[in-house]
Structure 1
Amino acid sequence: MSGVLEAQDLGIRFGGLQAVDGVGFEVGAGEIVSVIGPNGAGKTTLFNMLSGVYRPSSGRVLLGGEDVTGLPPHLLACRGLSRTFQNLQIFQSMTVLENAITGFHLQERGSLLSDLLALPGSRRRARRAREEARALLARVRLEGDADRSAGGLSYGALKRLEIARALALRPRILLLDEPAAGCNAVETEEIDHLIAEVAASGIAVLLVEHDMKMVMRISNQIVVLDRGRPIAKGDAATVSRDPKVIEAYLGADAGGLDAEG
């Protein structure tokens, strides 16, 4: 399995606070790696370093073998890294299809003048973007809602729309920050299946998620953080039995985590 994204001894300080320290792992093509940990463990901070929102204080980020440490988000996106966020970033007043089309902006190669004058090349690009956006909506099972206002979708459908827009960048790796947060059991299962399908297509997936059933079910590897430091790494069965993980989640006297959720 080829390495797509690699974190090497990543750390970041905010003033006197060491928020993340010594985190390292690799995500291969078609692999799902989950990052878990109690609240405040540093999961989103780690994502922000990997996606260029924060520049690490130490360590390196490799994307396809290239050192991309500290590159801004738009340059990482051009290199094949796409992400979603904890809070929805949907244009509520636009249609579902229009939201999906916005994800293709990095693929556009036309000039502003061409678009303003609606020249043939501009019309061809717009038509191709609409066709590809509709195909993405079918992939996330929203093709029947293409012409609806995005604001009228259920919360779970909006989460899937965000994933569709992230996929429009044609990423090599997709970072998903709590994609099932706020979803009911049915919506979570739909997102679970979608993530598995994305990975099966060859895209690497890095996931932060609090739903342990989902994490244990779909992850090839799990990285556990506690107070910014890695305390365990391995498959679901290994991680769920690790005493340090059990203590971090449930306290020193807890009986254990259930790998089956």
Structure 2
Amino acid sequence: MSLLQVEGLGIEFGGVRAVHDVSFAMKPGEIVSVIGPNGAGKTTLFNMISGVYLPGSGRVKLDGEDVTGMSPHLLARRGLSRTFQNLQIFQQMTVLENAIAGYHLQESGHLLADLLNLPSSRRRAQVAREGAQKLLERVGLGRAGEQEAGNLSYGALKRLEIARALALKPRVLLLDEPAAGCNAVETEEIDHLIAEVAAEGVAILLVEHDMKMVMRISNHIVVLDHGEKIAEGDPATVSRNPDVIAAYLGTQEAADADG
């Protein structure tokens, strides 16, 4: 059974069709990439799946449950988490505090205990701190916990945002351009991290413009153009699709990625 099902999703803005009738499914541990030229509707699709936008048509199912239009915080509690194309990092907070914030996003109903500084509140804080430190070590930021987040390199900030998303213990993780602005070394680090997370059974939905990375790590690729799905399949199949080559990859780039 599919963990995430996207069925005929569509949306319009001011009468302009941004995404139309897009469908695909994901299994646990699968890496699915959504690619396409600028303006193809990739981030809009992400926003509908993650509850930022209410779809005009279609449905989103998470482990068989219809979660269409459900708010992001409720989706997070059901196991769907995401990062954003533009970094959502608290620049003035420490790296560790940013990671801890991911744990707090899944908590509710503890305000009184926190205000009174009850033992249960202190225990939760300690568990969150220890968990956040382990996540930082996992993404290669274990020694940067006390640094101000704004002092990190762009690639390190990307890994920090992934760590914070992992704090929600997702079953489905949406990554919107995780390697954008990163150099080759940083991209490789993120590449390995994504593969490790997927190997643990987390389904990963990826939007990324680095075609070599996409072709290297993806199990399945969905291609959008002008808001419509024009192709899907494994990397080898997609890279040879003439519609994809015409719309996005370009003959030489497709050949390079396939090689």
TM-score range, shorter chain: over 0.9
Moved more, 110-119 or 157-166: 110-119
> What is aligned with 1:257?
254
How many Å separate the matches in 1 of 2:135 and 2:116? 28
Contact (CA 8 Å) 2:223, 2:244: kept in 1 or not? yes
Query: Helix, strand or coil for the counterpart of 2:157?
Result: helix
Q: In the alignment, does 2:109 pair up with 1:130? A: no
How many Å separate the matches in 2 of 1:255 and 1:80? 39
Query: Helix, strand or coil for the counterpart of 2:216?
Result: helix
How many Å separate the matches in 1 of 2:159 and 2:240? 32
Aligned-residue offset at 1:13: 1.1
How many Å separate the matches in 2 of 1:114 and 1:257? 57
The residue identity in structure 2 corresponding to 1:231 is I
Gaps of 5+ in 2: none
**Aligned-pair Cα RMSD in Å:** 1.3
The residue identity in structure 1 corresponding to 2:153 is S
Contact (CA 8 Å) 1:37, 1:225: kept in 2 or not? yes
Output the TM-score relative to the length of structure 2.
0.96
The residue identity in structure 1 corresponding to 2:176 is D
> What is aligned with 2:229?
230
Cα deviation code 1:75-96 (max 9, x no counterpart):
1111111000011111111111
> What is aligned with 2:56?
57
How many Å separate the matches in 2 of 1:162 and 1:53? 18
> What is aligned with 2:115?
116
> What is aligned with 1:204?
203
Contact (CA 8 Å) 2:36, 2:224: kept in 1 or not? yes
Note the 1:65-76 alignment, pairs <5 A: 65-76=64-75
Aligned-residue offset at 1:256: 6.7
Note the 1:1-261 alignment, pairs <5 A: 2-109=1-108, 111-249=110-248, 254=251, 257-258=254-255, 259-260=257-258
Contact (CA 8 Å) 1:240, 1:256: kept in 2 or not? no
Aligned-residue offset at 1:255: 5.8
How many Å separate the matches in 2 of 1:231 and 1:54? 23
Change (3 A) 1:255 1:108: closer
Change (3 A) 1:129 1:35: same
Query: Helix, strand or coil for the counterpart of 2:3?
Result: strand
The residue identity in structure 1 corresponding to 2:254 is L
How many Å separate the matches in 1 of 2:197 and 2:146? 24
Output the TM-score relative to the length of structure 1.
0.95
Gaps of 5+ in 1: none
Aligned-residue offset at 1:257: 1.2
Count of aligned pairs between the two proteins: 258
Contact (CA 8 Å) 1:108, 1:125: kept in 2 or not? no
Query: Helix, strand or coil for the counterpart of 1:145?
Result: coil
The residue identity in structure 2 corresponding to 1:69 is T
How many Å separate the matches in 1 of 2:105 and 2:43? 25
Query: Helix, strand or coil for the counterpart of 1:182?
Result: coil
The residue identity in structure 1 corresponding to 2:209 is H
Aligned-residue offset at 1:186: 0.6
Cα deviation code 1:111-165 (max 9, x no counterpart):
3222122111111111111011111111111111111111111110000000000
How many Å separate the matches in 2 of 1:245 and 1:126? 49
Aligned-residue offset at 1:108: 2.8
Query: Helix, strand or coil for the counterpart of 2:147?
Result: coil
Query: Helix, strand or coil for the counterpart of 2:143?
Result: helix
Aligned-residue offset at 1:250: 5.3
